[in-house]
Structure 1
């Protein structure tokens, strides 16, 4: 897969996205990487395939400080990103090395992990098989998630619209019904909702679906998860 037709899109001060696609079982899906600027460099949330032009564009923005794998499924391009940016910290969820093998110089994300001191906060949905950690970028007021919220709309391709309508994530932000089968311990949901709800979120950027821009964005996210609590 090539990103040659893709460009970094600036959404806010210190915030960019790169929209691309992936193919699975013969179907094309949308995929998004988020770039967060901090005083110590750039954080690449869920790295995607990066061609030379995109890598140069990223370097023109600043040093790549962190490669962030948000959960146990968003890792397809992590090793390639390490090859491109060997000096970056690599933050991964617990259990990822058991799934894909050794990840050189990686750090497992915990509650005590500092992604970017005073600039990025994080919360992990414990007791869930995804083991996903979301990020909150204070400068831009942006919550970044991979798979904990979807928002598919008319601009997406037919196959995606069909699938995400079937799982209840078409036309408005929503949580796929199948998450209930991945929850091993519901006690982790309430503190996770509390953490996200405490942040002044004005935007949600997810890896799949239309970005949510709303002053009540934190409430949209926590309310979507309420039925699983």
Structure 2
């Protein structure tokens, strides 16, 4: 169930339904120095997945990286009460049932600093997504801001992603482009993300891209990088 991506970096996927469409979503797992595990955008905590994680290290952090990817955060917290739960700015108001939730706009744990950099993707309040760079592998970890759906989809999903601009192409979904509220802030965030030395893209939806990752990233965000607003 866990698939290796790079040293100390894995992912696991799950099929879910979004507005009646079958969608695959990806959880990313980072093993930090010392062996603690950091879970990004957690999927359902199936027993087999938990056993695989327990074999890798101690689950210490659970991260809900935007205001949409939080469905299973509480279930993971129940299984791993020693783990700290972190979420995107604004998520606490949406999930009052998670009283231990820390906001990612606070000071981040020192234990993350050697492996992870974080950049808020500002100007898109529907998500308030936090984008991550796994520095040892130069892997950019994204949730919804950029998506890429392969060809092996149902007919309805192919049609939807063709309309959204994300079928067999790395892009910000058109629906999210229309949701940008502060273009200057989004442009600044995109510029900072594209300045990172990225060699791989790890996308919650729906691929891991290792070929020409930096070039594809620049192309996908070009509409913001060229913004004068």
| TM-score for both structures, normalised by structure 2 | 0.90
Q: Deviation per CA, 1:146-174: give whole Å up to 9, x if none.
A: 00111112123332222101111112211
Give, in whole Å, the separation in 1 of the partners of 2:150 and 2:177: 23
Matched, 1:54 2:17: no
1:59-74 matches, within 5 Å, as 59-74=54-69
The aligned residue for residue 14 of structure 1 is: 8
Residue pair 1:36, 1:42 contacting (<8 A) in 2 also: yes
Residue pair 1:152, 1:171 contacting (<8 A) in 2 also: yes
What is the root-mean-square deviation in Å for CA atoms of aligned residues?
1.7
Where 2:131 maps in the other structure, the secondary structure is strand
Give, in whole Å, the separation in 2 of the partners of 1:47 and 1:109: 16
The number of equivalent residue pairs is 222
Give, in whole Å, the separation in 2 of the partners of 1:13 and 1:81: 24
1:83: how far off?
Answer: 0.6
Q: Which runs of 4+ in 1 moved over 3 A?
A: none
The aligned residue for residue 26 of structure 1 is: 20
Residue pair 2:180, 2:186 contacting (<8 A) in 1 also: no
Matched, 1:78 2:89: no
Matched, 1:190 2:217: no
Give, in whole Å, the separation in 2 of the partners of 1:34 and 1:121: 15
1:142: how far off?
Answer: 0.7
1:122-137 matches, within 5 Å, as 122-129=118-125, 130-137=127-134
Where 2:136 maps in the other structure, the secondary structure is coil
Segments of structure 2 that go 5 or more residues without pairing to the other structure are none
Residue pair 1:145, 1:206 contacting (<8 A) in 2 also: yes
The aligned residue for residue 3 of structure 1 is: none
Give, in whole Å, the separation in 2 of the partners of 1:224 and 1:169: 10
